[in-house]
């Protein structure tokens, strides 16, 4: 297995390089270094000299990919792409265009993101599995139909509607929790309960519907029928026999997302004032802060690769037939 993991990690290097190249291309198709300078310096009274100075001190005075004033390898290394990329691969994220230390900001903002995303994932998973198993228990009945219709209904509603509706009802009409904000420690409960609840409810339609399909495939397998024939209760059949056997596709969905939890949620963090990494990325895009954008994309790619490897490893844990060669 170790050899497999090492091989996957080696494969990750060209993937990360490709992602970095694409990020770079996409960003600079839309923004030029001059645009970035203006975004930082403001549009009023900014002189060409001030723009040139900004570019020089922030390392954007060189050509993007090829420096025709240099010769040999330095024609490639004395470029914005090379200089900005090389530091990323050494995990030296440097400073944002406005002068803040990115590592320090990321390490501060990652925890609020996790505090919101982890309970949403775990509670959502638990709720979805329970509901899906319940539906499977009552398969081929009117109750199942009612649930499936509800799932489709829940899936059809926009995420924003859940947020705005939830905020209006729970915080404004019923005055139960604060509408937005964040505190650390025990007090964080008050601020997170609503976004987590909304996250869970909004994800229930799609989640429970998917799991129902997975469980239905297992529900009439021989082992399940044998268990029932032996007099095992339906609840035990569902939770002890069917659930573990349906774990592989569930794990595919879940393990891959776990590392991404650190990246935060763009919309929820913005509406609920959660100071996580999702809103960090949005702010960076608004202010054309390439240093933060490329760092966040890079971290996201690394976490995604870790998620994929972790998914493969988890298969071996839940299914002894799987071997990583």
Interacting positions 98-117 with another protein (CB under 8 A) = 98-101, 104-105, 108-109, 112
C-alpha 64/C-alpha 80 separation (Å) is 5
- Nearest CA to 264 out of 300, 308, 298, 291 is that of 300
C-alpha 317/C-alpha 315 separation (Å) is 5
Rounded least distance, CB 269 to another protein, Å: 9
Of residues 248-277, those binding another protein (CB under 8 A):
270-273, 275
C-alpha 138/C-alpha 64 separation (Å) is 62
Who's near 8: CB < 8 A, 6+ residues apart?
305, 308, 309, 312
C-alpha 174/C-alpha 169 separation (Å) is 6
String marking each residue 149-178 x if it binds another protein according to CB under 8 A: ---------------x--xxx-xxxxxxxx
- Nearest CA to 154 out of 201, 194, 210, 212 is that of 201
Of residues 73-102, those binding another protein (CB under 8 A):
95, 98-101
Choose, by CB under 8 A, the member of 6, 83, 283, 317 that binds another protein.
283
Please identify, among the stretches 2-10, 71-79, 188-196, 242-250, the one whose residues bind another protein according to the rule CB under 8 A: 188-196
> Please, which residue, 3 or 186, has the CB nearer to another protein?
186
Q: How many residues bind another protein (CB under 8 A)?
A: 73
Q: Residue 314, interface with another protein (CB under 8 A)? A: no
Choose, by CB under 8 A, the member of 9, 86, 122, 143 that binds another protein.
143
Phi, psi (deg, nearest 5) at residue 288: 55, 40
SS3 95: strand
Rounded least distance, CB 179 to another protein, Å: 5
Rounded least distance, CB 311 to another protein, Å: 30
Length of the chain: 325
Burial of 112 (0-12, 13-18, 19+ CB in 10 A): buried
Of residues 218-237, those binding another protein (CB under 8 A):
228, 231, 233-235
> Please, which residue, 187 or 220, has the CB nearer to another protein?
187
What pairs with residue 101 in β-bridges? Answer: 95
> Please, which residue, 58 or 295, has the CB nearer to another protein?
58
> Please, which residue, 54 or 298, has the CB nearer to another protein?
54
Q: Residue 119, interface with another protein (CB under 8 A)? A: no
Please identify, among the stretches 77-85, 131-139, 249-257, 300-308, the one whose residues bind another protein according to the rule CB under 8 A: 131-139
Q: Residue 179, interface with another protein (CB under 8 A)? A: yes
String marking each residue 32-71 x if it binds another protein according to CB under 8 A: x--x--x-xxxxxxxxxxxx-xx--xx-------------
Convert 172-194 to b/e letters by CB count within 10 Å (16 or more is b). eeeeebbbeebeeeeebeebbeb
């Amino acid at each position: 297995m170790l050899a497999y993991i090492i091989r996957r990690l080696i494969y990750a290097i060209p993937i990360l390089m490709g992602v970095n190249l694409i990020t770079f291309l996409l960003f600079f198709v839309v923004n030029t270094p001059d645009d970035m300078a203006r975004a930082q310096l403001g549009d009023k009274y900014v002189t060409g000299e001030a723009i040139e100075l900004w570019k020089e001190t922030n390392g954007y005075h060189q050509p993007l990919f090829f420096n025709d004033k240099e010769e040999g390898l330095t024609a490639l290394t004395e470029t914005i792409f090379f200089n900005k990329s090389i530091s990323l691969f050494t995990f030296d994220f440097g400073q944002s265009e406005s002068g803040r230390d990115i590592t320090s900001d990321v390490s501060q903002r990652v925890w609020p993101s996790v505090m919101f995303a982890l309970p949403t994932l775990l509670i959502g998973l638990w709720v979805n599995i329970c509901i899906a198993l319940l539906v499977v228990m009552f398969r081929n009945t009117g109750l199942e139909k009612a649930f499936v219709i509800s799932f489709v209904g829940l899936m059809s509603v926009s995420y924003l509607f859940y947020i705005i509706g939830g905020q209006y009802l729970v915080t404004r009409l019923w005055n139960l929790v604060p509408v937005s904000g964040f505190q650390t420690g025990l007090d964080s409960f008050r601020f997170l309960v609503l976004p987590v609840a909304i996250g869970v409810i909004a994800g229930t339609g799609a989640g429970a519907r998917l799991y129902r399909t997975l469980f239905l495939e297992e529900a009439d397998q021989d082992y399940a029928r044998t268990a029932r024939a032996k007099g095992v209760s339906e609840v035990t059949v569902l939770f002890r026999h069917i659930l573990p056997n349906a774990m592989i596709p569930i794990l595919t969905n879940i393990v891959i997302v776990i590392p991404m939890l650190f990246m935060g949620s763009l919309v929820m963090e913005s509406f609920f004032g959660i100071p996580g990494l999702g809103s960090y990325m949005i702010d960076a895009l608004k202010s054309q802060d390439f240093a933060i954008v490329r760092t966040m994309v890079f971290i996201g790619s690394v976490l995604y690769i870790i998620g994929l490897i972790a998914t493969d490893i988890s298969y071996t844990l839940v299914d002894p037939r799987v071997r990583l060669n």
